[in-house]
A and B are shown apart, each in its own frame.
Chain A
Amino acid sequence: MSQLTRRDLLKSSAALGAAAALSPALGGTAAAQTTQKRELITAQGGDISKLDPHYSTSSNDIRVSFNIYDNLTARHPDGKLNPALATEWKLTAPTTWTFKLRSGVKFHNGDPFSSADAKFSIERTYDPNAKTMVATALATIDRIEAPDAGTLVIHTKKPDPLLPARLAFYGGQIVPKKYVESVGNDGFNAKPVGTGPVKLGSWTKDDKLVLEANDGYWGGKPDFDRWTMRPIPETAPRIASLLKGEVDIITQLPADQGERVAGNATTRVVGALYAGLYVLAVNSKRPPLDNPLIKQALSLAIDREAIVKELWRGRGIVPSQPIAKGDNHWDASLPALPYKPGAARDLLKKAGYKNEEIIIETTVAYLSNDKQMSEAIQGMWKDAGINAKVEVIEYSVRAQKNREKSFKGVFWSDPTSTLGDPDGMMWRLLGPGGPQDYWRHPKWDELGNAARFSVDEKFRAQAYKEMTTIFFEHFPWLPVIQPYEDYGLQKYVEFGPNPNQQFEVRKFNLKFKRA
């Protein structure tokens, strides 16, 4: 059965209709599974909190908000940037991007979409009066012009090669100017209107959110009349609801539960390689972690193969670099990070390590397997002669420590590659002033800064290569695993998971197999 899972995976990362091609391998009954359902029911770990897309970046919320609204550009499950409300875009000057907008698009309330809405939406994200939660998402923008209804010209403060990628993620959802201005921010949050494939039906908090299909969607009506999203916080009941056939798709399927879903006659598992890494971020300011040799030893003493195999049941890969596989500039020639406890011991001796305590601060189940991995790594480090200690902290405490930069040693982080590019991951988090700014290196900073503002991809590739080399000397992160994010589905559902926590229900990505 694990074979089936792996194959499903390969498929899902490729293209659509994957499952259909695979089905014969599943055996007769499975292949025959179809449905007449016109309602999609999904379950996730928590309810959404807000319907206004500019007031939240939580994964529970964006699964829905990216479907109520469209962005100018869209990152599809295959990882590629596709046209959405913008049909084409190009760099017309070093700091100017010009977007051609789709014509004939209507908001759910019937208002036509135009460049005025796009300008309003983007400016709203950083408008101090709007008090949004995405004020920094599009902060590279200087000013926006809307010369005609179908054209948008965006001027950036400095050259920004990644602007189209930024517009595909949070902050980039387009809201209707006229409607938002007439009902106000609270009114809009209560009764949202977008251009997306679904519109709000009803919402009973923590019970069900009902979304109706947008019949006139420019990308085609979705393959259902109605989508009900149910929050089921506990994993066991969430899986039970799938196995019993009450829901069609569940999110956040833990690696150790995959076999139950895959082994069941009517359900299967699909997963996408997470667009990011799970790392132990290092507070390099705290001795002895200010010594690069010690950090090299810490990395060498982690048996990542064992973690992937034992704790993740093979649902992940061992990272080879600080750039996530699937991103721009990921270097295929680098080998997986090695496990060499002997070499680690030698390095410790050379570094003059005096058995100082190294604290691993971990949450419980905020990241999958965080506590288990911490304990495993503590053991591995002990074996290599490192005095490690695990301290458990609650998530909101972690958030506070993150803000105050007061971690005592190493701590878990799941850097997401928001832009499909190292700029949106290692530079965003480890760069000067970033949330994990615990380590500075003049050359590294110079390269990261130059790559951010360069529109020359060859130059950027070289810069990230050199940054990776410096990274391996200093390990501001100890990359541990790039896991799969798994979903459980009924076999009659064809669905491609998105690597970056979006949940794509548009017609091209979600279909029911019908008899």
Chain B
Amino acid sequence: MRGVLGFLAPKLLRALVAVWLVTTVVFVVMRLSGDPVPLLLPPDAPTSEMERVRRDLGLDRPLPVQYLTFVGNALRGDFGRSIHFREPAWSVVVRYLPATLELGLTSFGLALVVAVPIGMLSAIKRNSPIDQAAMGVALVGQSAPTFFLGIFFILTLSLWAGWFPTSGRGSWEHLVLPAITLGAFSMASIARLTRSAVLDVLRQDFVRTARAKGLPELTVVMKHTFKNAALPVVTITGLQFGTLLGGAVVTETVFAWPGIGRLAIQSIYNRDYPIVQCTVFLSAILFIVLNFAIDLLYGVLDPRVRPR
């Protein structure tokens, strides 16, 4: 038990520092780069009116005072009221969360289910047409910008072929195109990494030994090779899940998907400080939880990194 705590405690501390740093940087940058008040009022509102609204929103106070209030409230779980929506920021953000999780988890699942077998197959049938085709597609998937890919899918698979709705959220059909778009990059990088990881292991002595023992190829690949190749794959997969949330900003905008990413980008344009802070906080926490999960998974997969 002590071992686990010694393993977790420094990581936890680092995580807390990271959350604090991220929210502070966002707090300062947002406030220095624009003002929400002129966006709320009609363009001809006089200065006195601007000042009145700034006062109502508490934006006339010195920055350090605003910051301390923010931290004090945030520690109690209160992220303030959205300037744009006139509601508590937290309750706004929480309503956008399910859509993002639905999309993120689907593309993540899709990426894993498609990419890992393809990567393995590519490695085993190295330099075959299958390998070349798969890696070619992966290269495109990894290099095409999400924005372009999304519009491309809408024009081809939705408008031209008529298979899927163009945008919005609702039935499972609505989910297909955004999930593929969002997952494309992860899919490609996971497939490529799986391939090279498996190739690495295939070259090792114990694989030759296993083959020499006369084990069936399937057992060699599934039992001996894949288990050993899994470590880098888990790392990249975990990190990819993080980028899925980041990539959601573009995908959600293109497909009019009502998720956190779109909320965040709009709130940045609107300088809706409380919402931006709340989404950033949430993403930071998610990243940290993910990293934790990966660290723990390492221990399961590789006895050498277990705390002694």
Within 8 A of A (CB), among B261-284: 262-263, 266, 269-271
Please tell me if A461 contacts chain B, counting CB pairs below 8 Å: no
Subset of 10 A-B contacts with CB under 8 Å: A55-B86, A57-B41, A128-B52, A206-B263, A234-B151, A237-B150, A243-B159, A396-B270, A399-B39, A402-B43
Q: How far is the CA of A434 from the CA of B42 in the complex (A)?
A: 12
Please tell me if A400 contacts chain B, counting CB pairs below 8 Å: yes
Q: Report the nearest A residue to B37, measured CB to CB.
A: A403
Within 8 A of B (CB), among A126-178: 128, 131, 133-137, 170
B45 CB to nearest chain A CB (Å): 6
Which of B86, B159, B254, B269 lies at the interface centre, i.e. has the most chain A CB atoms within 10 A of its CB? B86
Q: Which of B44, B85, B167 makes the CB contact (< 8 A) with A49?
A: B85
**Given known contacts A232-B167, A244-B159, A170 and B154 CB-to-CB distance under 8 angstroms:** no
Binding site for B on A (CB under 8 A): 46, 49-50, 52, 55-57, 128, 131, 133-137, 170, 186, 189, 204-208, 230-234, 236-237, 240-241, 243-244, 246, 394-397, 399-400, 402-403, 428-429, 433-435
Q: Which A residues touch B35, using CB under 8 A?
A: 396, 399-400, 403
Please tell me if B92 contacts chain A, counting CB pairs below 8 Å: yes
B233 CB to nearest chain A CB (Å): 34
Q: How far is the CA of A206 from the CA of B249 in the complex (A)?
A: 13
Q: How far is the CA of A350 from the CA of B46 in the complex (A)?
A: 38
Please tell me if B137 contacts chain A, counting CB pairs below 8 Å: no
**Given known contacts A134-B42, A428-B44, A237 and B154 CB-to-CB distance under 8 angstroms:** yes
A250 CB to nearest chain B CB (Å): 11
The answer on a CB contact under 8 Å between B43 and A231 is no
Q: Which A residues touch B154, using CB under 8 A?
A: 236-237, 240
Q: Which of B34, B37, B262 makes the CB contact (< 8 A) with A206?
A: B262
Within 8 A of A (CB), among B31-57: 33-47, 49-50, 52-53, 56
The answer on a CB contact under 8 Å between A186 and B266 is no
Q: Report the nearest B residue to A428, measured CB to CB.
A: B44
Within 8 A of A (CB), among B101-152: 150-151
Within 8 A of A (CB), among B150-171: 150-151, 154-155, 158-159, 162, 165-169
B256 CB to nearest chain A CB (Å): 4
**Given known contacts A205-B95, A234-B254, A244-B162, A399 and B168 CB-to-CB distance under 8 angstroms:** no
Please, what's the 1-or-0 string for B237-269, where 1 marks a CB less than 8 Å from any CB in chain A? 000000000000000011110100011001001
A495 CB to nearest chain B CB (Å): 21
The answer on a CB contact under 8 Å between A131 and B92 is no
A448 CB to nearest chain B CB (Å): 14
Please tell me if B96 contacts chain A, counting CB pairs below 8 Å: yes
Please tell me if B306 contacts chain A, counting CB pairs below 8 Å: no
Given contacts A50-B86, A236-B151, A396-B34, 13 further A-B pairs with CB under 8 A are A52-B86, A205-B95, A206-B96, A230-B256, A234-B253, A236-B155, A237-B166, A240-B155, A240-B159, A241-B168, A244-B162, A396-B35, A403-B37
Q: How far is the CA of A279 from the CA of B43 in the complex (A)?
A: 15
Which of A57, A186, A428 lies at the interface centre, i.e. has the most chain B CB atoms within 10 A of its CB? A57
Please tell me if B11 contacts chain A, counting CB pairs below 8 Å: no
The answer on a CB contact under 8 Å between B258 and A206 is yes
The answer on a CB contact under 8 Å between A133 and B53 is yes
Q: Which A residues touch B166, using CB under 8 A?
A: 237, 240-241, 244, 246
Q: Which of B42, B162, B255 makes the CB contact (< 8 A) with A133?
A: B42
B70 CB to nearest chain A CB (Å): 19
Binding site for A on B (CB under 8 A): 33-47, 49-50, 52-53, 56, 84-87, 92, 95-96, 99, 150-151, 154-155, 158-159, 162, 165-169, 253-256, 258, 262-263, 266, 269-271
Q: How far is the CA of A56 from the CA of B85 in the complex (A)?
A: 10
The answer on a CB contact under 8 Å between B256 and A402 is no
**Given known contacts A232-B256, A236-B151, A244-B159, A136 and B167 CB-to-CB distance under 8 angstroms:** no
Q: How far is the CA of A403 from the CA of B48 in the complex (A)?
A: 11
Q: Report the nearest B residue to A185, measured CB to CB.
A: B86
Q: How far is the CA of A244 from the CA of B256 in the complex (A)?
A: 16
**Given known contacts A207-B169, A396-B271, A403-B47, A50 and B85 CB-to-CB distance under 8 angstroms:** yes
- What 10 A-B pairs come out closest when comparing CB atoms? A396-B34, A399-B38, A207-B258, A206-B258, A232-B256, A240-B166, A241-B166, A57-B42, A400-B35, A237-B167
The answer on a CB contact under 8 Å between A136 and B46 is yes
Q: Which of A135, A189, A234, A237 makes the CB contact (< 8 A) with B86?
A: A189
Q: How far is the CA of A399 from the CA of B38 in the complex (A)?
A: 6
Q: How far is the CA of A186 from the CA of B81 in the complex (A)?
A: 12
The answer on a CB contact under 8 Å between B85 and A246 is no
Q: How far is the CA of A137 from the CA of B50 in the complex (A)?
A: 14
Q: Report the nearest B residue to A396, measured CB to CB.
A: B34
A455 CB to nearest chain B CB (Å): 22
Q: How far is the CA of A205 from the CA of B87 in the complex (A)?
A: 12
Q: Which A residues touch B159, using CB under 8 A?
A: 240, 243-244
Q: How far is the CA of A36 from the CA of B234 in the complex (A)?
A: 54
The answer on a CB contact under 8 Å between B34 and A400 is yes
Q: Which A residues touch B151, using CB under 8 A?
A: 234, 236-237
The answer on a CB contact under 8 Å between A237 and B254 is yes
The answer on a CB contact under 8 Å between B44 and A237 is no
Q: Report the nearest A residue to B263, measured CB to CB.
A: A206
A414 CB to nearest chain B CB (Å): 9
The answer on a CB contact under 8 Å between B262 and A233 is yes
Q: Which B residues touch A55, using CB under 8 A?
A: 86
Q: Report the nearest B residue to A400, measured CB to CB.
A: B35
**Given known contacts A46-B266, A50-B85, A403-B47, A237 and B255 CB-to-CB distance under 8 angstroms:** yes
